[in-house]
Amino acid sequence: MLRRIGTAGLLSIALTACGAGGSPAGATPTGGGKAAPPAQTTPPQAPPPTTPQARQDAVERALARMSVEEKVGQLFMPVLYGTAADTVSGENQARYGAQTPAKVIAKYHLGGVILFPHNIKGVGQVVGLTNGLQRASGDVPLLIGTDQENGLVARMSALMTDFPGAAEIGATKNPDRARAVAKATGAELRALGVNLDFAPVADVNVNPKNPVIGRRAYGNDPARVAKMVAAAVKGFDEAKVAATAKHFPGHGDTDVDSHTGLPVIKHTKAQWEKIDAPPFRAAIDAGVDAVMSAHLVFPKLDPSGDPATLSKPILTGLLRQKLGFKGVISTDALNMEGVRKKYNDGEIAVRAVLAGADLLLMPNDLPKAYRAVVAAVRSGRISKERLDQSVTRLLTLKQDKGYLPEAPAANAERAAGVLRSAAHRKLAAQVTR
């Protein structure tokens, strides 16, 4: 039986892709961690498919081999505990019913994992961890993500260059700076084996009382933020790391933190078009890989009272159909209070998929959420076609970043030469000046 967590515990683990600072509860593994395995050199690999048809065929072959349970597992990206794939942790056992990250991945057929500071000890250790996680994933490589916005939210700061955050970059009024910092950030993440960043922030910070966005945004001018976001997306793409524009449909005008409450945005549709939409349009035009939903109510876009994460009119009607986004829609962390006001953890996961989400980030109760989605597919509430759409998008993202059919192994020696390089430190200093 899973250990129940009180309100204080829930708040402490809700420092996720949307929130600033810290790491989840239980950041220190409760079991005795094993030493990281030796760094792996990159093995010889077959060249990736080069034509659009060949890439599509590779995705379809991977999809065809999966059972319903394996497909559902592809949707989930939890936080795991330990500094190596075989670290024994009481947190993993209590939350997931398996002791090590590798066993959790195998048990739930996970498609992704998100890293937090408690997973980070050193360069060689992280390289060993990400390589070990990929080996545990079986035939379909993982998306290994983190929140490396720089500035206030920088989960990998212990190892990476201390780049300035979005507000400082926005103040330069130079999109080339945003692009260069994103490219350098992506290069450092990729060297560590991380292939997805929950950045850039695409919110326009128009409310001085905003407790959760603030200096994480590029500024309060929609046109300037849009240019910065588009440039950052291109920088991440040049580094072959997936970028995530967040938090759709816009978290900039709120005085409530969605980690602890449910914000309500009172913008009209016209105001949304003028203030909130431009950075997301720009991100999509720039080819952004993923867009993250916000746990907030936007009555003029959906009068149901459900947060955007669970809103089909917002995720499917607005983001997919109106803005034409074809990539991966990620939820913000599903352990946040903003999404847990009305429904239980299983129903939240099902409703997010029905709304249009593809990636279910950090469910509060992974076993319950996983079983609920499998049951919804078996009963027909979630059609198999709908499930295949999400899995296809996730596989296509992996394919586009060079992670199908096999994830390239990170290399500790190479990573040491990329992380905090002289060129990256010089870039950080230039932006700060």
Residues 415-426 have pLDDT tens digits of: 999 999 999 999
- Tokens of residue 29, six digits: 């593994």
- What one-letter code names the amino acid at 399? Q
- Cβ atoms of 338 and 367 within 8 Å: the answer is no
pLDDT for 26? 37
Mean pLDDT of all residues in 46-69: 84
Residue 81 — φ and ψ, nearest 5°?
-115, 130
Residue among 347, 330, 338 at smallest CA distance from 293:
330
Task: Classify residue 28: in a domain, yes or no.
Answer: no
Neighbours of 106 (CB within 10 A): 15
Mean pLDDT of all residues in 147-159: 97
Number of helices and strands (H, E) in the chain?
A: 17, 10
Gyration radius of the chain's alpha carbons: 20
19-33, 85-99, 393-407: which has the highest mean pLDDT?
85-99
Three-state secondary-structure class, residue 431: helix
Weakest-pLDDT range from 52-61, 100-109, 224-233, 339-348: 52-61
pLDDT in tens, 161-202: 999 999 999 999 999 999 999 999 999 999 999 999 999 999
Rounded Cα distance between 165 and 213, Å, is 12
Task: Classify residue 43: in a domain, yes or no.
Answer: no
- Containing structural domain, residue 220: 70-432
6 burial type by CB count under 10 A (0-12 exposed, 13-18 middle, 19+ buried): exposed
Q: Is the dihedral of CA 152, 153, 158, 160 positive or negative?
A: negative
Task: Classify residue 297: in a domain, yes or no.
Answer: yes
Rounded Cα distance between 373 and 383, Å, is 11
- Tokens of residue 406, six digits: 């096999």
pLDDT for 47? 52
Task: Classify residue 47: in a domain, yes or no.
Answer: no
Mean pLDDT of all residues in 364-376: 98
pLDDT for 87? 96
Task: Classify residue 64: in a domain, yes or no.
Answer: no
Mean pLDDT of all residues in 78-106: 98
Q: DSSP for 260-287? A: TS--B----HHHIIIIIHHHHHHHHHTT
Rounded Cα distance between 86 and 155, Å, is 22
Task: Classify residue 357: in a domain, yes or no.
Answer: yes
Mean pLDDT of all residues in 93-108: 98
Describe the crossing of helices 384-400 and 52-64 by its angle, rounded to 10 degrees. 130
44 pLDDT above the threshold of 80: no
Weakest-pLDDT range from 16-20, 171-175, 268-272, 426-430: 16-20
pLDDT in tens, 222-264: 999 999 999 999 999 999 999 999 999 999 888 766 777 788 9
- What one-letter code names the amino acid at 379? S
89: domain CATH number?
A: 3.20.20.300
Q: What percent of the chain has pLDDT over 90?
A: 79
Task: Classify residue 285: in a domain, yes or no.
Answer: yes
- Tokens of residue 54, six digits: 């060949």
Mean pLDDT of all residues in 76-95: 98
Three-state secondary-structure class, residue 40: coil
pLDDT for 33? 38
Per DSSP, 42 falls in state P
Q: Across the strands, what pairs with 33?
A: none
pLDDT for 433? 86
pLDDT in tens, 312-336: 999 999 999 999 999 999 999 999 9
Known catalytic residues?
259, 332
Task: Classify residue 35: in a domain, yes or no.
Answer: no
Three-state secondary-structure class, residue 62: helix
**Number of domains the chain is built from:** 1
Rounded Cα distance between 414 and 327, Å, is 31
